[in-house]
Amino acid sequence: MTPSAEAGRGVIVCADDDAVIRAALVAAFADSGYTLVTYADGNQVLEALKTSRPALVLLDLRLPPVDGFEVLRRLRQLRGHRHTPVAFLSASTAQDDVVLGLNLGAIDYFAKPIIPGLLRAKVEFLLARQAERLPAMSADLDGAPAEVQWAAEDPDRLLDKYVLVEEIGGGATGHVLKAWDTSLGIYVALKFLRGIVSPQQVKTFYREARTVARLHHEHICRIYDIRQADGQHFIAMQLVEGSPPALKLPPDEAAGIVSRIARAVHHAHEQGVLHRDIKPDNIAIDLAGKPWILDFGIATSIERAVLARERSIVGSPGYMAPEQAGCSNMPVSPLSDVYGLGATLYHFITGQPPVEGRTTTEALAVLEMGEIVPPSKLVPNLDPELERICLKAMARDPRDRHKSALALSEALDAHLAPRAAPRLRLGRWSWPSR
């Protein structure tokens, strides 16, 4: 029998190299409602647990070929077993062994020789207590999608009121998971801080999240919650299900996308928020064909950016303004985001960023020299007016750019106005007028 043969109250896996002990345990739990599955080898246990989640694992300390301590260490690395209850069975009552076992995460340490009835009573009590400690869902999962209900069976995927479904993105400072909010009954995106973080990083993470939470616009993802659970700091935000736009688009489609995103960026500026990392990767298209600007993860307040005259390099080298990269004495400002919008438009039109380099250093060197190939050199027959709008947004001197993100959007709309509005057609993205 394998641990997947669950019946009644569940499966208890027992690993002990003593056949007498194994038989005594099977007899002790015969009428308990639990199915007892036994092994004599530590590696056999680990292999079986790759595809199953028992109610409890009982481990002899002196297992061949790896001891019980090592089995527990490896078990915690297996998907779905971060919270699997484990208890030790051992003839050793040495204090060091007991302390090590509990420090590794065992819920108890039973000394041999065992008294079957007493062991069964203790195990049933422990399992009842363990069930109470599992993360509680603030609403049941009736009506939740099948993938959510399946994920909820894994305790490792339960975090506060969320069921973690799958990872959908990430970067150097954080990663993003698709999750189900059991209170609201909707999918959300959870953005987590990555790795070991300092108190200052946590403070900045919360400050920036609260800054972005002020934004309410039809093309900006909403923030629902900011919290800490199970030692992890994360933001719950609106999930946009769809895909990024193609990295090269017909020029008018590119102009339509950037116009809408520019209005969202203008709204952020009105609320005192700079994005600082506008680029194609931070734009998504939902299933209805609507563009969204994502990842305000390095956003900051305009006041902080201007007063501090920041000189740390923050953003993506291929799309950041010269003043943002430290190549200009001008302060970072809303016009830095106008540059990012222009650079994104450039990429959508030409299929490549305006500034390229094999490394960040090379890209910044190109930006320092101000060498940007005009889009018309890469796209024959490009409308000169659209090229003028794009290059004006990327002017090296911020004072030569459009005076605001709204002004850029209005310029793009004026360019598009005499043309027939593209429509959404099956199998490709195109963009209706507002």
Residues annotated as catalytic (active site), given as ranges: 277
Q: Whose CA is closest to 56, among 76, 82, 86, 28? A: 86
| Amino acid at site 223 | I
Helices 334-350 and 405-416, axial angle in degrees (round to 10):
30
CA 354-355-357 angle, to 5 degrees, is 140
Helix intervals (H) in 80-220: 95-103, 116-133, 146-151, 199-212
CA distance 190 to 177: 5
CA distance 424 to 428: 7
In sequence order, the β-bridge partners of residue 229 are: 232
User: Exposure of 26 by Cβ count < 10 A (0-12 exposed, 13-18 middle, 19+ buried)?
Assistant: middle
CA distance 59 to 128: 19
Residue by residue, DSSP assigns 108-122 as EEEESSP-HHHHHHH
Residues 6+ apart with CB under 8 A from 382: 251, 349, 375, 376
Helix intervals (H) in 6-152: 19-28, 42-49, 68-75, 95-103, 116-133, 146-151
CA 43-47-53 angle, to 5 degrees, is 120
- The DSSP secondary-structure symbol of 335 reads H
